[in-house]
Amino acid sequence: MSNGNYTNGKTRTCGVIGNPVEHTMSPAIHNGLATMFEHNLVYVPFHVEADLDKAVEGAYALNILGMNVTVPYKSDVMASLKEVDKLAAQIGAVNTLVRMEGGYKGYNTDMPGLYRAMKEDGVELENADVLILGAGGVARAVAVLAADKKAEKIRVLNRTIEKAEAIVEEVKEHYPKADIQAMAISDYEKLEGESWVAIQATSVGMYPKTEDVVISEEGFYKKVRVGYDLIFNPYETKFMKLLKAAGKEAYNGLKMLLYQGIIAYELWNECEVTKEQAAVIYEEMKKQMSA
């Protein structure tokens, strides 16, 4: 049974809750996978303006198999859950709800999605020197991921060093042995070596302000071996262009978006998505972006 346009009494429902959700690409991921696997499942967006707790309770009452959670609810939703996965608790954000007896269990598939994307690109976090630009919720999550995967060094660079220091303290609570330090972006010259894996974890450079960049100095990009911009609109950000101009590899966040969805789908349906299947969905996402 493909999901197609045909549903019946056995059709299961999944979806995404957030505000806004009108521009989400998640239906392309999940409905595409349901068609591939011939799962009797449909995935729809749910615009939730308020009453998040009631929305989660209602989803359970309606026998909804699983939910994704997007902004602004990734942290707030945790109070409405029956259980929270260890990594999600450490990150402090949940983006996937998996149905269990009496409620939902919360997972964070964003960071495992980034990790899976990086592995596919041949980029390892284990024993790597990782620098993170930014000190918001995404930067905090990346710092937890890097520590969890045993990065050699982690440096959190931000214009306001106090915010970066707060992330360092939080990560140290869970990973006391991690070599993690906060730095002001202006002090980038103090970074040792030229083999850093740089992860741009701010919204700077996102459409429509596509010419904005967190740091423009050429000297910074000489210290980087490979860079990820977690933005995917535009497809090539100014940060990525500067990396490429320095002769370095650069990737955007679209594959992270793909794999966070794939991992959620695998959790809901107890299946495994191959690289070949993922590649088909990825091409469909790229088409949607250019449409």
Catalytic residue among 10, 54, 74, 222: 74
Please say whether the beta carbons of 119 and 145 come within 8 A: no
* Phi, psi (degrees; rounded to nearest 5) at 242: -70, -35
Q: How many whole angstroms from its chain centre is CA 56?
A: 21
Closest CA to 60 of 72, 75, 74, 77: 77
Q: CA 74 to CA 57: how far, in whole Å?
A: 16
DSSP 233: S
Q: How many whole angstroms from its chain centre is CA 29?
A: 14
Q: CA 270 to CA 283: how far, in whole Å?
A: 24
Burial class (CB in 10 A: 0-12, 13-18, 19+), 170: middle
Q: CA 279 to CA 180: how far, in whole Å?
A: 34
Burial class (CB in 10 A: 0-12, 13-18, 19+), 32: buried
Contacts of 127 (CB under 8 A, 6+ apart): 150, 151, 152
Closest CA to 50 of 33, 72, 65: 72
Q: CA 171 to CA 144: how far, in whole Å?
A: 6
Active site residue 150: no
> Catalytic residues, which ones?
74
